[in-house]
Structure 1
């Protein structure tokens, strides 16, 4: 198992959290997604490491920006 934490910019409500969770969950190999609205933290757990670019693309698709 691999866990990585990122910061997402632009989320303001629970709908934002749902959108990011849904998009990131669709990445092959992802087993768990946790989004903390208050801190903007996105924690992704996967069977193997997922490339940052894949996470960033999913966050962008949801309408937000991966900043770190």
Structure 2
């Protein structure tokens, strides 16, 4: 299932890697596409939306609902 998140606080490639790593820790098969300029994170995953959002928040980024 494709899910899109608005994530603020990503300022560099390291931030993108941290968000990607956090998502892949809860779903190793997830596909993650990040558009940092527009604060968008698109995730193909079977995990519930809130589980993915919580993983991103744990890395220190804000996720708009």
The two structures share one fold, judged by TM-score above 0.5:
yes
Contact 1:35 1:43 in 2 (8 A): yes
> Deviating runs (4+, > 4 A) in structure 1?
none
Unaligned 5+ runs, structure 1: none
Distance 2:28 2:12 in 1: 27
Aligned CA-pair RMSD: 1.5
Aligned residues: 65
Structure 1 residue 7: deviation in Å?
A: 0.4
TM-score, normalised by the number of residues in structure 2: 0.85
Contact 1:21 1:33 in 2 (8 A): yes
Equivalent residue, structure 2, for 1:39: 38
Equivalent residue, structure 1, for 2:11: 12
Contact 2:3 2:49 in 1 (8 A): no
Q: SS at the partner of 2:10? A: coil
TM-score, normalised by the number of residues in structure 1: 0.82
Structure 1 residue 61: deviation in Å?
A: 1.5
